[in-house]
Chain A
């Protein structure tokens, strides 16, 4: 079964600190994504990647960086975490024209 694994599942970070969220997929998919979910909102696309060593900006990239060192791994980096980045983050993977598979999410609280 297709699998997208996120770590950590929850994290508390200090304002101004660096946060790295990791994602690993065993689906052999080319596409990977990072979405953010806020209460009362749908998912919004932060960064995505079509191939290893390349990332693209999504709809809300400000304050985030992404890294795709291999086909299986995709990280989201918050260099200077802010209170407004408190949210649930979902990683996902897919191929063109296939279902998007989501991870279980990472709940990030910035204090």
Chain B
């Protein structure tokens, strides 16, 4: 089945700097890709859902890049602020729907003032 590797497990950046989190996956048939944010003690909040046909997706304060050739998904936070401190998880789905997600192990992001 699908396997997802997420790097780095921990990341500390200064406020205003950028932060990059990367996931690699194994199943070339994977179709949907997701980034979730989890604040301490809270549930997972969907940041962005990416379709395999779109390589660049932009959100508020971040960009998601999908490289299908290398089977790599990345989350780039620009100008990080304290509210970005959280755990981030990528998830991959190969069924064409939102079910049966395979998650990466997560990245604990700390934004230093």
- A residues neighboring B (CB under 8 Å): 31, 33, 40-45, 48, 50, 58-59, 90, 94-100, 102-105
Complex: chain A residue closest to B89, CB-CB: A42
A42 to B105, CA, bound (A): 4
Name the B residues within 8 Å of A41 (CB-CB): 105-106
A26→B49 CA distance, assembly (Å): 22
User: Cα distance A33–B100 when bound, in Å?
Assistant: 8
Interface residues on B, range: 20 to 34
Map CB proximity to A onto B1-40 as digits: 1 under 8 Å, 0 otherwise: 1001010010000000000000000000000001000000
Identify which of residues 78-95 in chain B touch chain A, using a CB-to-CB cut-off of 8 Å. Answer: 89, 91
Q: How far is the CA of A99 from the CA of B101 in the complex (A)?
A: 11
In the bound complex, residues from chain B placing their C-beta under 8 Å from that of A90 are 43-44
Query: Is residue B70 within 8 Å, beta carbon to beta carbon, of the partner chain?
Result: no
Query: How many A-B contacts are there with CB distance less than 8 Å?
Result: 57
Output the nearest chain B residue to A43 by Cβ-Cβ distance.
Answer: B103
Interface of B with A (CB < 8 Å)? 1, 4, 6, 9, 34, 42-44, 46, 49, 89, 91, 96-106
Knowing A42-B4, A59-B1, the reply to whether A96 touches B97 (Cβ < 8 A) is yes
Contacts of A44 in B (CB 8 A): 103
Nearest Cβ on chain A to B41's Cβ, whole angstroms: 8
Classify the interface of chain B: helix, strand, loop or mixed: loop
A41-B105, A43-B103, A48-B100 as given contacts; A99 in contact with B49, CB under 8 Å:
yes
Min Cβ gap A92→B in Å is: 8
Residues of B within 8 A of A42 (CB): 4, 6, 89, 91, 103-106
Residue in contact with A104 in the complex, picked from B4, B42, B89, B106, CB distance below 8 Å: B42
Given known A42-B6, A105-B43, contact A96–B99 (CB-CB < 8 A) = yes
Determine the residue in chain A with the shortest Cβ distance to B34. A100
Q: In the complex, what's the smallest C-beta–C-beta distance from A28 to chain B, in angstroms?
A: 15
Q: Are B100 and A45 in contact (CB under 8 A)?
A: yes
B96 touches A100 (CB 8 A): no
Residues of A close to B106: CB separation below 8 A: 40-42
User: Hey, which chain B residues are within 8 Å of A48, CB to CB?
Assistant: 99-100
